[in-house]
Amino acid sequence: MSLTALLVDGLTVRFGSFRAIDDLSLAIDYGEVRAVIGPNGAGKTTLLDVISGITRPKQGRILFNGALDLTQTSEAAIARAGLRRKFQKPSVFEGLTVRQHIAIGADVGFRPRLDTPALDDRIGEVLETVGLTGQSTRLAGELSHGQKQWLEIGMVIASDPSVLMLDEPVAGLTDEETGRTAKLVRALVRPDRAIIVVEHDMDFVERIADRVTVLHEGRTLFEGSMDRVRADAAVVDVYLGR
């Protein structure tokens, strides 16, 4: 099944006179892991900001499942529709325990929907997936950088999102941690889920990505598999620098 999860259509984002995203169009399908790469300032994080409703574009729209225009929807409503995002800088709640994080991620709303046993099961499951089972009562502020990255991933996957955005999930991680994260990402692939990864680590991208989109100055420079990306002269020119 290759339904389109997200359709980005003619998107333009401006900060003052600077065009962070310039008339960008692209489609992301269910079942794929899409890596978005590009040099600094290419508009990768801004694209995720627009998808998650944090930044409003000047022009264009983003359709989720062909119906919901995300550029007109609030951040919380976008998240409740099933789109979740991990931020570039690990964003966790320093004053809460690991367990509370997963509970907040799993059960949306001010009144709990899941009953206690179901919630406990779900938390256990997610903690195991991200490898934090032993840490459940620790405060997030006390975790290491890598653990914070995984905690945030755990928080965003706890609700079973249909679109998962990961902004630099392996930045600052050791090789061993990067390897574990790559396995984790591949394990999250499902036919009814689209995963978007923004990353600079090319080896990591090669291991996880089904398709790669190269952004440059707010536009799509190239789209295809990692092998073809490496072979493309224009990409090599602006980005890989070889």
Partner 1 sequence: MKLARLTAAAGLLAGLLFAPGLRADTLDRAGLVQELCGDAGAMGRAGAALVATAASGSAQDRAFAAPLARAVIDRKLGCDDAGAVLDEGGLDAVSRTPRAAAGTPRSPLLSLKNRPVFELADAAFALRGAPDIAQRAAALKTLERRPAQIPEGLLDTAAAAESDAGLKEQIDTLAQTAALNASDPAARIRAIGRVAETPSRRALTRIAALASDPVYAANPEFRRAVDAATARIERGIALGDTLATLYNGLSFASILFMAAIGLAIIFGLMGVINLAQGELIMIGAYVTWLVQQGLRVAAPALLDWYLVLAIPVAFLATAAIGIALEALLLRHLYKRPLMSLLATWAVSLFLVNLVRVIFGTQNMQFETPFYVSGGVPVIGDFIFTWNRMFAIAFAVVTLALTWGVVRRTPLGLNIRAVTQNRDMAACIGIPTRRVDMMAFGFGSGLAGLAGLALSPIYSVNPQMGQNFIIDSFMVVVLGGVGTIAGTVVAALGIGQINVLIEPLWGAVAAKVIVLLMIIGFLQWRPEGLFAVKGRRK
Partner 2 sequence: MIRLGRIGPIVHLTALILMVALALPALSGTPLEISRYLANAIGQLAAFAVLAISLDLIWGYLGILSLGHGLFFALGGYVMAMYLLKHSFVVTGTVPDFLQFMGWKDFPFYWAGFDFFPYALAVATAVTLLISGIFGYVSFRSRVGGVYFAIITQALVYVAMLLMFRNDTGFGGNNGMTGFSVLFGWQMGTSSMITALAVASLVVLALVLLLCRQLVRSRFGALMLATRDDETRLRTLGYETLRLKLLVWCLSALIAMVAGMLYVPQVGIINPRVLSPELSLEIAVWVAIGGRGHLVGAVIGALLVNAVKFWLSSAAPEIWPFILSGLIVLVVLVFPNGLMDLAKFRLTRPMGPKRMAEEMEEARP
Q: Is 155 in the site for partner 2 (CB under 8 A)?
A: yes
Q: Are 188 and 29 in contact (CB under 8 A)?
A: no
Q: Which does 16 bind (CB under 5 to 8 A by kind): partner 1, partner 2, none?
A: partner 1
Q: Which does 182 bind (CB under 5 to 8 A by kind): partner 1, partner 2, none?
A: none
- CB 157 → partner 2: shortest distance, Å? 11
Write a three-state SS string for 157-187. Answer: HCCCCCEEEEECCCCCCCHHHHHHHHHHHHH
Residue 81: both structure tokens together: 């529709």
Is residue 110 part of the contact set for partner 2 (CB under 8 A)? yes
Bridge partner residues of 126 (DSSP): none
Q: Under the criterion CB under 8 A, does residue 84 sit at the interface with partner 2?
A: yes
Q: Using CB under 8 A, which of 30, 35, 37, 49 touches partner 1?
A: 49
Q: Binding of partner 1 at residue 45 (CB under 8 A)?
A: yes
- Crossing angle between the packed helical segments 175-187 and 116-130, to the nearest 10 degrees: 130
Residue whose CB is less far from partner 1, 17 or 116: 17
Q: How far is the CB of 128 from partner 1 (least distance, A)?
A: 31
User: Could you tell me the CA-to-CA distances from 224 to 4, 53, 214, 221 in Å, in that order?
Assistant: 16, 27, 9, 10
Comparison of 14 and 61: residue with beta carbon closer to partner 1: 14
Of residues 141 and 172, the one with the C-beta less far from partner 2: 141
Give the integer Cα–Cα distance in Å for 148 and 194: 23
Under the binding rule (CB under 8 A), the answer on residue 96 touching partner 2 is yes
Tally helices (H) and strands (E) across the chain.
9, 10
List 100, 129, 136, 162, residue binding partner 2 (CB under 8 A)? 100
Please, which residues bridge with residue 19 across strands? Answer: 14
**CA distances (Å), origin 181, targets 46, 66, 186:** 23, 31, 9
Q: Is 28 in the site for partner 1 (CB under 8 A)?
A: no
Partner in contact with 110, chosen from partner 2, partner 1, none, beta carbon below 5 to 8 Å by kind = partner 2
Can you give the binding site for partner 1, defined by CB under 8 A?
15-16, 20, 45-46, 49, 54-55
